[in-house]
């Protein structure tokens, strides 16, 4: 069973254009000198006027012997490099268009958008890390158009990183310890730190933000020592490193499964690596691997390749040195201001597949979180399973029509509980504030919910806030007066936070004693105790009504 779309961004069809959004025109003109060479960008006009530099290499092409390895800095170039077109995307399966995108393994490029190269003072920098379940996506402007941010005095950067097996193969060896895709992101952040001033940006005021797997990535940077000092603030939209889909605990098994599927049945990691490096990239992407032979199957394990705990090599070179749950519980969290939040109906991303997966919910223990199943006795799992089913399904059978009940469960279990849980730990360990939001706006820009035909289910679907942050030109998403107002207030909150560390005066920080949060809809509303009843239920399930904070 595959659950690949749970952390998916909107895939980006190339053919369809949105006539209701003013398209962007660009003319070559702007020149910038980086530490690796000179770039020619383009002045763009449309909804906003700005300067775009696209397809900037931030790493050496990860080809040949560099396949699966940590990235290396790029080579300098002579003359002026054209930076008016996006670089190739990582080879991937575009699930929503049901087609392959060939892309290229040479995909480590980023894009920079700025209002001016010569501001009166350096501008705040916002670095977007795209989602896509660690297997699909890119930073390209057909979906992540910068225009809404370019109404403000910020520099926006979007990045590509290696995906799926190319970015997340793990053999638990020094050659391939895992996390190459996360180290791509780290190298991109280093490039930004060293070069963004040339684009008008402030290298000492960098905010990283993302949605879904991009948000999980941001959260992983918060607990990674090798990311320390590369950013100053963070925003996590619909995902944190505690969410079980954000880290892989069976990566080595998956690697050998892939080798066997392709014709190499071996238990020698060196032999497997040589074989996988010899394969054409088309043989590596979008492979359907069989279920793992493990005691407790879980939806999260159908994300085949993703971040891992690195078991070999020096600590100062590992992206993750321990399980995210252990790092967070022990307060190993970057001391930076943070926004975390979620959409009101995250679980629609799973519920939409109900006709195909509802039988899984009949499996004993299936509704119990993986983290708990791996440390509990059979009796404890059964007891929790019964409590969860009674709470969400009221003793009713789960059928192929239980859309609302499954959406409610899968909003809380793989998303909201651990997002609030992360905020709780941050507020206990970190001196900088954490702000919590819930996104509820529903207009014609809520594309996913409509495309999934989930109108009968309450709430806002996973990632449906993205068209309120970015100018989407690859899908037919209208821009009306209703949505313009939401866009304006939503983007303003994010820009304020990136600029000052505070979203606005009314939005108060979250704490264990005062669980303040904002509801972002047609207007901004301020409350306490997000999803209070449901969160209390899960805190009892996890045994975390009171956090066991380690005193430092």
List alpha helices for 330-432, DSSP H.
Answer: 348-351, 354-357, 370-373, 378-393, 403-411, 417-429
Cβ pair 134, 307 in contact under 8 A: yes
Residues with a catalytic annotation lie at: 212, 346, 462
Neighbours of 431 (CB within 10 A): 7
β-bridge partners, 304: none
DSSP code per residue over 450-473: HHTT-TTS-SPBTTTTGGGTSB--
- Give the integer Cα–Cα distance in Å for 114 and 413: 39
Cα separation, 287 vs 303, in Å, equals 12
Rounded to the nearest 10°, the torsion over CA 312, 315, 320, 321 is 80
Strand, coil or helix: what is 331?
Answer: coil
| Other CB atoms within 10 Å distance of the CB of residue 457 | 20
Residue 233 CB burial class (10 angstroms; 0-12, 13-18, ≥19)? buried
CA 76 to chain centre: 30
Phi, psi (deg, nearest 5) at residue 72: -115, 155
Rounded CA-CA distance 463/237 in Å is 8
User: Long-range contact list for 480-485, CB < 8 A, 24+ apart?
Assistant: 480/443, 480/444, 482/443, 482/444, 482/522, 483/443, 483/444, 483/445, 485/522
295, containing H or E segment: none
Which residue from 211, 125, 231, 220 is spatially nearest to 181, judged by alpha carbons? 220
């Amino acid at each position: 069973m595959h659950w690949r779309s749970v952390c998916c961004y909107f895939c980006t069809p190339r053919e369809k254009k949105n006539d209701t959004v003013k398209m962007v025109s660009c003319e070559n003109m702007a020149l910038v000198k980086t530490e690796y060479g000179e770039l020619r960008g383009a002045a763009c006009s449309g909804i906003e006027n700005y300067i775009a530099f696209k397809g900037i290499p931030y790493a050496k092409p990860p080809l040949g012997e560099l396949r699966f390895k940590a990235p290396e800095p790029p080579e300098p170039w002579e003359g002026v490099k054209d930076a008016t077109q996006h670089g190739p995307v990582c080879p991937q399966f575009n699930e929503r268009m049901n087609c392959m995108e060939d892309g290229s393994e040479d995909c480590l490029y980023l894009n920079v958008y700025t209002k001016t190269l010569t501001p009166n003072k350096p501008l705040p920098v916002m670095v977007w890390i795209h989602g896509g379940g660690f297997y699909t996506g890119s930073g390209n402007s057909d979906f992540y158009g910068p225009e809404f941010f370019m109404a403000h005095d910020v520099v926006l950067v979007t990045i590509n990183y290696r995906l799926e097996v190319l970015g997340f193969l793990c053999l638990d060896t020094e050659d391939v310890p895992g996390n190459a895709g996360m180290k791509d992101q780290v190298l991109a952040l280093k490039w930004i730190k060293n070069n963004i001033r040339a684009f008008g940006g402030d290298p000492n005021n960098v905010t990283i933000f993302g949605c879904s797997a991009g948000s999980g990535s941001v959260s992983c940077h918060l607990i990674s020592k090798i990311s320390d000092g590369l950013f100053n603030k963070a925003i996590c939209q619909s995902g944190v490193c505690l969410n079980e889909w954000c880290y892989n605990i069976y990566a080595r098994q998956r690697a050998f499964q892939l080798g066997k599927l392709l014709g190499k049945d071996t238990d020698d990691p060196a032999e497997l690596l040589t074989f996988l490096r010899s394969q054409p990239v088309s043989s590596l992407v979008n492979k359907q691997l069989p279920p793992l032979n493990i005691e407790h199957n879980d939806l999260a394990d159908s994300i085949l390749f993703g971040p891992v705990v690195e078991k070999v090599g020096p600590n100062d070179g590992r992206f993750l040195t321990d399980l995210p749950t252990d790092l967070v519980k022990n307060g190993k969290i970057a001391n930076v201001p943070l926004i975390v939040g979620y959409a009101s109906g995250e679980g629609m991303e799973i519920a939409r597949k109900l006709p195909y997966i509802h039988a899984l919910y009949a499996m004993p223990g299936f509704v119990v979180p993986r983290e708990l199943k791996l440390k509990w006795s059979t009796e404890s799992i059964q007891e929790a399973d019964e409590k969860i089913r009674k709470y969400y399904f009221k003793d009713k059978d789960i059928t192929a029509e239980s859309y609302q009940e499954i959406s409610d469960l899968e909003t809380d279990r793989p998303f909201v509980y651990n997002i609030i849980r992360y905020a709780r730990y941050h507020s206990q360990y970190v001196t900088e504030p954490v702000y919590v939001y819930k996104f509820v706006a529903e207009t014609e820009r809520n594309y996913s919910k409509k495309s999934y035909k989930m109108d009968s289910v309450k709430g806002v679907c996973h990632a449906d806030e993205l068209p309120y942050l970015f100018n989407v030109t690859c899908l037919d998403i209208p821009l009306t007066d209703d949505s313009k107002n939401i866009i304006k207030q939503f983007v303003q909150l994010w820009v304020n936070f990136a600029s000052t560390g505070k979203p606005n005066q009314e939005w108060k920080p979250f704490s264990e004693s005062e669980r303040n949060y904002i509801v972002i809809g047609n207007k901004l509303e301020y409350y306490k105790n997000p999803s209070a009843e449901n969160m209390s239920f899960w805190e009892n399930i996890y045994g975390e009504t009171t956090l066991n904070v380690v005193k430092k």
